[in-house]
Structure 1
């Protein structure tokens, strides 16, 4: 058995930082992810006047239910979508003037559905340049609450931001959602709010959040399931290869653990225990058609191993991956074509035919430089392809620092144990 230590979940760490900042008291976050995104979130909180104490194994946050202690601040959100969407929502419940900007990559990513919802709730939020994009300024005076309609068809983070805001409003929130992707991420949010003392009610497309604030707690961050997908995929494409991720089992919050069910359908052996998950390669990968709407962050992982399947792999209902760090559908298609693979794409789907040393495991194939588009998930996904195709390189290997600064070293160590 090859056990792999995966860093903490980015999604959970970001939510935990928001909750800790909003809670009444001091919260300790155990084993948080330390990466460019989460460090950027923590530094954003510090600029807003929150105290964040950081050690290698735990972070402590002094919560301020009344909002930031700084009445003016300029926050740079880097590449972090959670930072860029959650922090402007957090400060809306306070009192002051707060400006937010982000990297060119993050400036291109959409924000308008959340912006509209916050404005409907009476928040004075203004975009300085392109409407619905950073930079923006929030002139905060607290949020009364009430009912709001939200389109979360591009990103579930819009709904998560409003859910997290709900207990900080004076009367609570009633959120009606007209469209929603990545439902498991919303379930993470609701479970974590419960751990901080708030119960969210859901009736179909309506979410009801009571006022009253959060209570501080000690919260342990589980390993990142999206990051784990690369290591599970590595086992699946290696006959007899086996990878176990401790700390990520049947009780995991993250829906992206469902990626192992896709690997099981393709022929890998999968065991999900109470406290760990194991994937073993059988030497067989079958083609399939799969809807990945709810686990779309793992779409590139599947695309990167699809050429090794015995039949076509078709991934459907992933239109939202076009507005991530890059257009991931086209990024995967272009890089696969560079490797000589036949690929077709549509508005919300990609179909990949077998190719690139399919089934022989001898490392032959059409080596190429992978174009990363600055997207950590493209690099980490095609690192798995590199287990079967010699000579793969990346134009920007360092972009993995966004979520896993030590990825290349960890993956090289796994490669040595699998091959």
Structure 2
């Protein structure tokens, strides 16, 4: 029975880096993810003047509740959405002038709901080229706080950024949310803020964040549930069995809910306090599933849908169109290249398996790590699958192809 050690969560590592930088004292992060995204976040903190120490398996961050030590800085956010959204928000709590830019891919992704909310809170923020996109400059003088309205219908990261900022403001924040996607990611944020000494109250659609700052701590990063989905899916499509330790009943990440989709399709799933096990049964049923709250695993399900006994329809995933690429269309394009019948709408995709099954093809990655990792699962059953940019997995899992090759040897018979 293969046991797969999944690297630390990208989402949790990014939040932990923000919290550690904002906390009073030195925080130790255990088992942080080391990938292009998290290295970019750490590099951004260093450019802002925060002190980071890195040893194998642990990072130490010397927090500054008063904000960045640097009075001026230029930060390149690479492809990282958390870096591009969280660091300007953190910088706003300090005093200085900070310019943020990003890759061409990240420049295309929207920021406007967050930057509009920051402006409503009095932050002097200027988009240099296209309104609502990088590059941008923050002229920071601290944040007073108060009430603000936020549309988080495109990304829950907008709400997370404001929640994380709240304790650094002078009065705290009352954030009224008019729409919210990927709600489990907000629950991660609230749980982690609690671990750093801040309790957020919720009154319906209003989040009340008190002032007062964070306290430093030692914080362990759990394995990445989105990354684990590829290994769980591998077990389901091959009739094999995979256990992921460290992702059990107490896990923070909502994307672990992907295993419940596999259960509905016919896989056996067991989740205990120490980990989760998935075993394929040789049956993979069609399913209709709303993936609004676990949309990062939508490509995983799309990639295994051709092996189901009936159509697989994935609904309420409009936000996947503004990720690293338009993931809904990327999945549809690649499935069609494999000879699979696919239909799409504004926020849904339906995959209709055929009698002949998918055939090998070169997968267009669009530079998106999740497209490559998802269709690697398809390749367990379909010979001849290759990728135009296999290296883009370094964004979250630099060793993915090696780990997946080990899994293939263990479970594919």
Please state which band the TM-score falls in when normalised by the shorter chain: over 0.9
State the partner residue of 1:292: 291
2: distance between equivalents of 1:101 and 1:55?
28
Match of 2:386 in 1: 393
**The residue matched to 1:119 in structure 2 has which SS?**
helix
Counterpart check, 1:375 vs 2:375:
no
Are positions 1:259 and 2:258 aligned together? yes
CA distance in 2, matches of 1:170, 1:282: 56
- 8 Å CA contact 1:369–1:394 kept in 2: the answer is yes
Would you say 1:104 and 2:97 are equivalent positions? no
Aligned partners of 2:266 and 2:387: how far apart in 1? 29
* Count of aligned pairs: 412
Asked if the contact 1:308/1:357 (under 8 Å) is kept, the reply is no
Following superposition, which runs of at least 4 residues in structure 1 exceed 4 angstroms of deviation? none
CA deviations over 1:353-411 (Å, ceiling 9, x no partner) = 013854xxxxxx42110000000000000000000100100000000000000000000
Query: Match for residue 188 of structure 1?
Result: 188
1:316 aligns with 315
Query: Partner of 2:89: helix, strand, or coil?
Result: helix
Q: Give the gaps of 5 or more residues in structure 1.
A: 359-364
Could you tell me how far apart the structure 1 residues matched to 2:180 and 2:56 are? 36
Would the aligned equivalents of 1:357 and 1:388 in 2 still touch at CA under 8 Å? no
Secondary structure of 2:284's aligned partner: coil
Q: 2: CA distance between counterparts of 1:343 and 1:175? A: 40
Return the alpha-carbon distance in structure 1 between the equivalents of residues 92 and 278 of structure 2: 44
Displacement of 1:117 in angstroms is 0.1
Partners of 1:185 and 1:55 in 2: how far apart?
28
Indicate the SS of the match to 1:211: coil
**Corresponding position: 1:326 with 2:319:** no
Corresponding position of 2:267 = 268
Q: 1:356 to 1:142 in 2, by over 3 A?
A: farther
Residue number in structure 2 paired with 1:85: 85
2:355 and 2:197 map into 1 onto residues whose CA distance is: 51
* Residues 316-343 of structure 1: per-residue CA shift (max 9 Å, x gap): 0000000000000000000000000000
Alignment partners' CA distance in 1, 2:131 and 2:216: 36
CA distance in 2, matches of 1:415, 1:357: 23
Determine the structure 1 residue equivalent to 2:301: 302
- Which residue of structure 1 aligns with residue 141 of structure 2? 141
Is 2:337 the partner of 1:344? Answer: no
TM-score when normalising by structure 2: 0.99
Match of 1:362 in 2: none
- Answering whether residue 179 of structure 2 is matched by residue 179 of structure 1, we say yes
**1:219-268 deviations in Å (ceiling 9; x for gaps):** 000000000000000000012x0000000000000000000000000000
What is the TM-score of this pair, normalised by structure 1? 0.98
- What residue in structure 2 maps to residue 361 of structure 1? none
1:170 equivalent in structure 2? 170
Partners in 1 of 2:267 and 2:73 — Cα distance? 51
1:409 alignment counterpart: 402
Alignment of 1:1-16 (within 5 A): 1-16=1-16
**Secondary structure in 2 matching 1:46:** helix
Counterpart contact for 1:32–1:221, Cα < 8 Å: yes
- After superposition, residues 64-79 of structure 1 pair within 5 angstroms as 64-79=64-79
Deviation at 1:204, TM superposition (A): 1.1
SS of 1:78's partner is: coil
Name the SS for the 1:237 alignment partner.
helix
Preserved CA contact (<8 Å) 1:341 1:356: no
Who is 1:123 aligned against? 123
